[in-house]
Structure formats: C-alpha cells, structure tokens
Structure 1
Amino acid sequence: MGESLERKPTREEIIQLAFQEGHDADIPSNTGSIKDFEKDPINEKLSNLDFDKDIEKGAPDRSESLSSVEEADDAASQQDPNIVDWDGPDDPQNPMNWTFNKKWGTVILVSAITFLTPLASSMFAPGVPKVMETFGSTNDMLEGFMVSVYVLGFAFGPLIIAPLSEMYGRLPLYHSCNIFFIIFTIAAAVASNMSMFIVFRFFMGCFGGAPLVLGGGTIADLISQRQRGTAMVVWMMGPTIGPCVGPIIGGFLTQAKGWRWNFWFVAIVAGAFVIMSMIIMRETSAVVILKRKAARLQKETGNPKLRSKLDTGLSAQDLFKFAIFRPVKMLTRSWICFLMSLYVAITYSYLYVLFTTFTVVFETQYHWHGGVVGLSFLGLGIGSLLGQTVFTHWGNKTAAKHLERGDFRPEHRLYIMSIGGWFLPIGLFWYGWSVQAQAHYMVPIIGTSFIGFGLLMTFMPANTYLVDVFTVHAASAMAANTVLRSLCAALIPLSSQKMYAALGYGWGNSLLGFVALFLIPIPFLFIKYGERIRARSKVIL
C-alpha cells in the first residue's frame, strides 16, 4: 500500500486512456473510471453530467483550472488506509516504470503479432483457386466466403475477449488466444474438406482478433502519453498494411509450396511469437496488478477490507453486458453511429470483394499465374499506406487548428473524409473499366491504389469522429462499428463473382462505385447538421 499525492487525472485523460485500452470510461482503467471522477468531491463543481443519458451531446467546456481545487483536496483529505495503491511514483511493479528495453520489447512484439493476424486474413487469397481444386468445389459463393469468413470472426471474438481481459488481465488472453490461433491455423492447413476449412478459418479470426483488442491497451499501459503516438503508429501499421502485404507473400508461397503452406508459415511465425511472448511479456494492466496485490496483502495481513484503488466492483455479468449490449443499442438508437458505421462497413467490404476476386481477375484478363498474382495487391497496399499518412498529417492538423481557436467540434474530423470519399468511386470506376478493356496491368493497379487511399480516408476519419462524439462510450461505438463492418465484409463479397459474371468487370465495379457515390453525402450531412442532431438526440444506455 502506498499513499499517493500525485495529480489526479482529468476527465479527458480518463476517457482517452480507457478508449486506448478498448473499453468505455465507466469501466476502470489504469487511472480509474469516469464514475470515480464524477463522484470525487473535487469534480462535483466541474460536472453534473449523467453519463448514462444523452451520450451524443458531448461534454461542457472544462477550461477552468483544477490546480487550486486539487491542492485544497490534498490538504483536507486523508487516504483510506484500506485502499491498495502503488508504492509511490517509482514503484517498479507499475508498468510505466519498467526499463526502456522491457517496455519497447513488449511494444514491438505486440505490434508484430498485430501485423501477423491481419496478414493471415488475406495471405492465401492468391491460392483460392487451388483450394477449390483441392476440395473439388466450383461454388462461387464458397470461393469468396473462405477468405471473408476470417473477418466474421473479428466481429464476434473481440466481444468476448474484451470483457475477459478486464477480469483476468491482458497476458492470459494474449497467451491463450495466440495458442488457439495456432491450433486453428494448423487445423486449416490439414483440413480435408471445405466445411472444416471454413469453420477453422472462422475460429482463426475469432482468436486472431485478440491483439487488435488488446494492443492499444498494452501500449497505453506502458508508454507515457508524450511517446505513445509513435508506438500507436507502429502498432496500427499491422491492421492497415498487413491484409495488403499478405497476398504478395502468399502468391509466391503458394506457387513454391502449395496453398497449405500459407497456413504452415503463419503457424510457424505465430509459434515463434508465442515463445517470445512467454519469455518477454508480463501483465501490464494496472487494474489486474493492483487487484492481485490487494489479494496478496489480504492474505498477509488478514485484513479482508483491503481493496485496489481501481476496483469498482463490476461483475462479470456487467462487463459482458457492456461489451455486447451497448454496441447493439448504439447501432439501433443513434443515427450518427448507424450511418457512420454503415458507410465504413460498405466501403470496408469492398476491400474483401477485391481480395476474393483479384486472383481470378488477373488470371483471366492478364493471364498472370503463380506468385506474380500476389503482386496485383500492391496498389491497395501503397494506397492504404498513403491514405494513413495523409490522414495522420492533415486530419490532426485540421483538428489542432480548431482546438487552438477554441471552436473545435467533432464534425471538424469529417472535412478530410468529405474529400477522401471521392477517391473510392474514382478508383472503382478506373479499376473496373481498365480491367474490362484489358489495358496495361499497371492501369488497374493504379486504380486500386485510389481505392486503398479512399478506404483509409473514409475509414479513419469516421472512426475518429465516433470517438469524439461518444467520448465516455467511445469503445462501445467502435465495437458497434467493428461488428457491422465485419459482418458486411464477410457477407457482401459472397455475391462478387456472380455480379461480375452478370455485369462484367466494368459495370460490376461501377455498381460498387455508384453505391460509394451515394454514401458521399453522409459526412457533408453531419458537417452541416451533426451538432444539431447531437443536441436533439437522446441515446440512453
């Protein structure tokens, strides 16, 4: 136990850290929860908000200084002797005080795992025709579903993984999910029929989603806010670039060793990561570390009243309720959450339409074979990387400008989306008609770079907007977005082959482009009316 007189976290710091950890701010994080903040006598003067109501309305201005109130509280209050805290600001048990090598070794390893599991989602895409041949299937729907079923697992796995990590810590979830990921990857490699293969792919996605759920929280546990931006950029490279790099590797691997070696390769690399994680990684969640410390001190002192300062007494039932029911309520009760999630879901599904059809398109139209087919995914990867770079620079620059002026609204995040959204239909038209005309292969690949750029320029601003709008419940809004996005990405590509067969590559991709054009007004709608919609809406969780 230790008495801490450190500066108390602000509301904004609690919300930001909770979101990075992957949960809402009324669930305890490394700095406590928003409920603790609001109950604190210090903060009663600053807020009388009811955070279970009107969650789209945002928060009032909290520009007044906290320093004088905090000083008065430090002088007047005494800490509860039954509260278990860190043993001072330099406590070595606090992950923030770990050595540089231990911290960044963990961050690099987590980032590597986060790169591998999205890479596995599309790595074997160039080998899909070989899989169909192996299992003796000619079903176009199954041909697409065997690739996209992986992201269906992304929709359901995290809903269970997130609350379990709050109860048992991040480390057990990393280890168990990584091991199950390897098991189902090997199972997919040795599958003897299509049904087995698809089921194993689904469970690969369920457990492969763990680093996407836990990684941001691990970085927030370890790295100070000043240095966290660099670590988050490295970590985010995995889900952004991994799915586009995977097919390039998979194309040559399929040619050299057969499609099953895509899965053996992933299993071998994942196995190496598991061994490294068991040696290097330690529990980083302050909530769990202090909970264990309190339990140990209870045994040593015989005092059953000892409890962690971060313990809010949430039951397993409450955690699962928040993880599962809140996102559903947001999708069904909030126009902002639903429309932005719908935009992201439809555009994200286009990525998997391309993943499931690139091999056939470039084999039939350009007579590419073997490992060279994987290079057809290069345009998507370059466009996605460029989109992330542009958004990070210009998106943050726009927000910073308005924050300096003091007139920032969440809708300012959508300015870059209103421009970026045009690149997606342009890329689809370009790609579709150039393939139809069998123009030089570089022409459609350049078109797919526009698609990748447009995807990131809609995907990232929309997510950031949801975070700014829902603040305390940002993680639930993102979970709602993820579920709808993953469902669409798994189901919409099922009809892609039939669409191309009926309409051709030109009109087939033009149909997707027209839908993307139809969605473009959504950010303009919220730029103009978003503040009014938030003021009038009432979303009760």
Structure 2
Amino acid sequence: MDHSKEVEDALSIHTESTKLPDEAPDNQDLESQLGHQPAPEEKTPTDPNIVDWDGPDDPANPMNWSTGRKVGAIGMTRPLASTIIASGAEDVLVTFHSTNQTLGAFVTSVYLLGYCFGPLVIAPLSEIYGRTILYNVCNAFFFIFNIACAVANSLGSLIVFRLLSGIAASCPITLGAGSISDMVPLEKRGLAMVFWIMGPVLGPTFGPLAGAYLAQAKGWRWIFWLLTILSGVVFVITLLLMRESYAFVLLKRKTERLRKETGNSHLRSVLDTGRTNKDLLKFSIVRPTKLLFLSPIVFLMSLYLAIVYGYLYLLFTTFPRVFQDQYGFSNGAVGLTYLGSGAGAFLGLFFCGAVSDRLAKALKNRNGGDHKPEYRLPLMFIGALIVPASLFLYGWTTEYKVHWIVPIIATAIFSFGLFTVMMPTTTYLVDAYTTYAASVTAAATVIRSLLGALLPLAGSKMYDALGLGWGTSVLGFIAVAFIPVPFLFWMYGERIRKSKLFRVHF
C-alpha cells in the first residue's frame, strides 16, 4: 500500500466498507451520518482554497513520523494504579478505624468508576481540540490527585480522590487507540495495539505485587507517593516531548497559519465540516453513548470485553481467600501469585504481536486486496474458547485444594485468553471507526470499567454463597454464552455495518 492510501485510511472511516452498494451516489452513507468527514478526494482536491497535506510524504503528517516519535510513555502507570492499593486495603481500613470490607474493596474499584465518566468528556474534546492538550491536562490532574490520596485524612476523602484520579487516568486509555490510528497505517496497527493494550492488562496484574511489598515495608501511603513520583516523571516527559497527532486539528492549524500568511480568508481544511466548536462538541459529546447503545457491533463487542475484563478484577479478589487462607501464603507471597496472570498476559502479547497483522494481511490478499475490519476477529476465536476453560480450571482446582501451582497456571491461561479477546476486539472497533477511534474506545472503556469496578464488590458474597467451584463456574457459563459473538461478526459483521437498520444518526 502506498502512502496516499495510508493517509486516506487515517483520515476516514473506511468509506468503502460502510457505504451501501445499492445507494445512489448523492445519498449520505454511514460516514456522514456519524459526523465523519468525507475522504480528501471527495472534497475536490483541485480547489485552490482547500488545505491538505503537502503530498503523501509530507513530514507534518503523523503517518510519516519516525518510529521513535510514535512511542508513548504513559500506557502502564495508569492501569498499574488501578490495583496497586488492593494489597494495602486492610491497612487502609485499620488506619481509618473501619471494618467495612465492602468499603475496603471500593477503595480499589472506585478508581475504575473514574474510567466510566472521564471518556465521555475526554474523547469528544480530543476530537475538537486535539490529543496533546487532553493528555497534558489529565497528566497534571493525575499527579495532583495522587498527592491528595497520599495525604488523605479520612476514608471518604481517600475514596473521592481515588475517583478523581481515575477520571484523570482514563485519558490515555481513552485516547490511546485514537493516537495509534492517527500515526500507524492500518496494516501495522495490530502490533501497535498490542503494546497499547499491554498497559490495561499487565498494569492490574503487577500492581498488587508492588503494592503488597511497599505497604508491608513503608505503609499504604507510600503506594500513592510512588504513583506520584511515576506520574510526575511521565507528566514532564509528555509535556516536553509529546506532539499533536490528530489530523483534523493539525490541518486546522495549518489552515489558520496559511490564512495569516496569504490573507486568503477563503482557505479551509480538507477535513473542515463547516461546524463551529460548539456544534462539534454537541455532536461529539453524544457520539460515544449513541455508538454504544445504537450500534450492535459496538455494544456486543464492548459488553463481551467488559465481562472478560471484569473477571480479571473479580478473580483478583479471590487471591487472599485462596492463597492466604487456603494455602497459607504470607501477605508478600500472595502478591507473587499475581505473576501467573502477568506471565499469561506476556504470552498473549507476543502471540498477538506475531500473528495479528500477518493474519489480517493474508486474509486481505486472499480476498481481493481489500481490508475489512472483520479480518481482525480470527484471533478472538481462540480467546473465546480459552476464557471459559480457564475459569472452570481455576474454580474447581481451588475448590478441591489441588496444588497451588495449578490455579496459578489457570490464571495464566485466563490472562492469555483475555489478551486474545481484548486485542482483536479493540483493533476491530478502531479499524471500523478510524477517525473517531477515540469515541468508540470511550464507549468500550465506559462499560468495561463499570463492570471492572462493580463485579469485585459482588465477588465476596457470591463466593460465600456458592464456593470457589460453582462461583467461578457461573462466570465460566456466562463466558460460554458469549463464544458465538466473534463468529457472528465474522460472518455478518460487514452486512450489519452496511445495513440501513443499524445506521447511527447524530
């Protein structure tokens, strides 16, 4: 694929894959109904008043940036913060003279509730003002609220500051996929998505391990001082080095500069829709919600991902019950049990990184050279089968007190399955909604984080009532019910995306 095609992929949402074949040429396609800008060639590129990139090799185009300039530094710190306090929750309750175990769990999970609120505002703002300003503002707030957590003088204030830090921390999770779609050509996007997803999967895994030893050695407040130090370093790095990557904003700035230089007030960006920022915000603010509830693809894929991701946090709540109470591990040793999940995630990372783009390219070449978002889904077939199998293995080996290494292996298998569900799901949605990847990622992040925050709160009572075997089997049966989802969209996804019935109007 030449560079001009890469630019088209970066600035549109696959007009060919979303336009109905039987439509008249002047009918609106799904792109325009979603508020998407037409591709550059549709805006009469010979018009001298249209401002576009200076050819396919324009160095200002983020698609042409060097690899070093495309590497981000904020993918791991935020997810790490989501679970790092889990091992110190008991110490928090002791400090504030509370015995409420639900509140203790909520100190950890309330962070994810912030992921439910932040994306709904951050994503649309980024599609108007750009990615960089949102990254920098949220990085600053994340730094401040971690300090507030470290010095909190009550359990209530700690929970509020954790919520606010979670809202700020949702920025890289929300905008990461959009930044990737800004800079990485479609054929290489799978590998880039692997490294972006590494944060949300590995961060929660290694957080409890770091938190367990730090809380034991220095107390729970030092957990937040560590996060403050890490977030401060990231803030300085991104403030100095991060550059804007969103094509809509870059071309808008270029247009404004050329207007001043030439005095031609008729110049306009090739991506200009003619709407004011107020109108754009009005359209953009509802886009994630409408995509989530009116698009069956976005809803079902996001719900499936949310359930599997929520299981990760729910399983983590069982580790003290299983490895400390049942197998007699110390507090520090319980933290080490999370490494099984981390190992599985690493295996999933390498597997998906090696296979994703190659498989999509092979399917593209086999089917006439046209890429379809559905070519990302075959990897998900594997994860859909592995996730329920690993849940059954974990549940019944812990129920019958099989040697402790077996349930740890089960968590490794689960994390491998989680990665092979999460990566193709996210890449599929980004490929289908490239320009507005931030909005579709926000929609998925909201529901994923909501279940990640709430499921652990119900875990203790469920396992008290059903035991480890049947309690985890309930999760497994739900996962079994979702096995057909990737197969459904593999066969009918393109037809659903083209169907008039499922068009989303803004």
Relative to the length of structure 2, the TM-score reads 0.84
Residues 444 and 54 (structure 1), Cα distance of their counterparts in 2 relative to 1, 3 Å cut: farther
1:500, CA displacement in angstroms? Answer: 1.4
Q: In structure 1, what residue type is equivalent to 2:311?
A: Y
Q: In structure 2, what residue type is equivalent to 1:504?
A: G
Q: Which residue of 1 aligns with 2:461?
A: 498
Match of 2:145 among 184, 196, 207: 184
1:461 aligned onto 2:454: no
Q: Which residue of 2 aligns with 1:508?
A: 471
Match of 2:84 among 88, 112, 123: 123
Post-superposition CA distance 1:271-326 (Å, at most 9, x none): 12222233333444444344344444545555544444443333334433444423
Residues 137 and 324 (structure 1), Cα distance of their counterparts in 2 relative to 1, 3 Å cut: farther
1:155, CA displacement in angstroms? Answer: 2.3
Residues 279 and 518 (structure 1), Cα distance of their counterparts in 2 relative to 1, 3 Å cut: closer
1:538 aligned onto 2:502: yes
1:140 aligned onto 2:104: no
1:367, CA displacement in angstroms? Answer: 2.6
Mapping for residues 343-422 of structure 1, pairs under 5 Å: 343-406=304-367, 411=374, 413-422=376-385
- Are the aligned partners of 2:175 and 2:438 in contact in 1 as well (CA < 8 Å)? no
Q: Which residue of 2 aligns with 1:22?
A: none
1:505, CA displacement in angstroms? Answer: 1.8
Q: In structure 1, what residue type is equivalent to 2:210?
A: I
With 221-230 and 113-122 compared, the bigger mean Cα shift is at 221-230
Q: In structure 2, what residue type is equivalent to 1:538?
A: F
Q: Which residue of 2 aligns with 1:59?
A: none
1:163 aligned onto 2:124: yes
Residues 431 and 54 (structure 1), Cα distance of their counterparts in 2 relative to 1, 3 Å cut: farther
Q: In structure 1, what residue type is equivalent to 2:206?
A: V
Mapping for residues 118-517 of structure 1, pairs under 5 Å: 118-218=79-179, 232-299=193-260, 302-406=263-367, 411=374, 413-467=376-430, 476-517=439-480
CA separation in 1, counterparts of 2:192 and 2:357? 17
Q: In structure 2, what residue type is equivalent to 1:335?
A: P
CA separation in 2, counterparts of 1:469 and 1:86? 23
1:498, CA displacement in angstroms? Answer: 1.0
Post-superposition CA distance 1:485-514 (Å, at most 9, x none): 121111222111111122222221122122
1:151, CA displacement in angstroms? Answer: 2.0
* Number of aligned positions between the proteins: 492
CA separation in 1, counterparts of 2:498 and 2:261? 53
Q: Which residue of 1 aligns with 2:10?
A: 17
Structure 1: gaps spanning 5 or more residues: 1-6, 19-24, 27-32, 39-44, 57-65
Identity across the alignment (%): 49
- Are the aligned partners of 1:252 and 1:372 in contact in 2 as well (CA < 8 Å)? no
Q: Which residue of 2 aligns with 1:51?
A: 29
1:114 aligned onto 2:102: no
Q: In structure 2, what residue type is equivalent to 1:370?
A: N
Residues 346 and 265 (structure 1), Cα distance of their counterparts in 2 relative to 1, 3 Å cut: same
1:479, CA displacement in angstroms? Answer: 3.1
Post-superposition CA distance 1:399-455 (Å, at most 9, x none): 333322217765554443333222222222222222233332211111111211221
1:83, CA displacement in angstroms? Answer: 4.5
CA separation in 2, counterparts of 1:474 and 1:216? 6
Post-superposition CA distance 1:214-240 (Å, at most 9, x none): 344445555677876665544443233
Q: Which residue of 2 aligns with 1:62?
A: none
With 319-328 and 380-389 compared, the bigger mean Cα shift is at 319-328
CA separation in 1, counterparts of 2:131 and 2:285? 19
Post-superposition CA distance 1:511-535 (Å, at most 9, x none): 2122222222333444455566556
With 428-437 and 345-354 compared, the bigger mean Cα shift is at 428-437
Structure 1 vs Structure 2 CA RMSD: 3.8
- Are the aligned partners of 1:55 and 1:470 in contact in 2 as well (CA < 8 Å)? no
CA separation in 1, counterparts of 2:193 and 2:401? 41
Residues 293 and 126 (structure 1), Cα distance of their counterparts in 2 relative to 1, 3 Å cut: same
SS at match of 1:421: helix
- Are the aligned partners of 2:191 and 2:357 in contact in 1 as well (CA < 8 Å)? no
Residues 482 and 319 (structure 1), Cα distance of their counterparts in 2 relative to 1, 3 Å cut: farther
CA separation in 2, counterparts of 1:468 and 1:163? 18
With 139-148 and 404-413 compared, the bigger mean Cα shift is at 404-413
CA separation in 1, counterparts of 2:57 and 2:355? 38
Structure 2: gaps spanning 5 or more residues: 35-39
Q: In structure 2, what residue type is equivalent to 1:487?
A: L
With 269-278 and 296-305 compared, the bigger mean Cα shift is at 296-305
Residues 402 and 326 (structure 1), Cα distance of their counterparts in 2 relative to 1, 3 Å cut: same
Post-superposition CA distance 1:52-90 (Å, at most 9, x none): 48989xxxxxxxxx9xxx8xx9xx97542x455567777
Q: In structure 2, what residue type is equivalent to 1:539?
A: R
- Are the aligned partners of 2:119 and 2:445 in contact in 1 as well (CA < 8 Å)? no
Residues 309 and 326 (structure 1), Cα distance of their counterparts in 2 relative to 1, 3 Å cut: closer
CA separation in 2, counterparts of 1:274 and 1:302? 38
CA separation in 1, counterparts of 2:401 and 2:247? 57
Residues 338 and 385 (structure 1), Cα distance of their counterparts in 2 relative to 1, 3 Å cut: same
Residues 301 and 465 (structure 1), Cα distance of their counterparts in 2 relative to 1, 3 Å cut: closer
- Are the aligned partners of 1:162 and 1:214 in contact in 2 as well (CA < 8 Å)? yes
Residues 223 and 427 (structure 1), Cα distance of their counterparts in 2 relative to 1, 3 Å cut: closer
Post-superposition CA distance 1:130-159 (Å, at most 9, x none): 222222333333233222222221222122
Q: In structure 2, what residue type is equivalent to 1:388?
A: L
CA separation in 2, counterparts of 1:170 and 1:410? 24
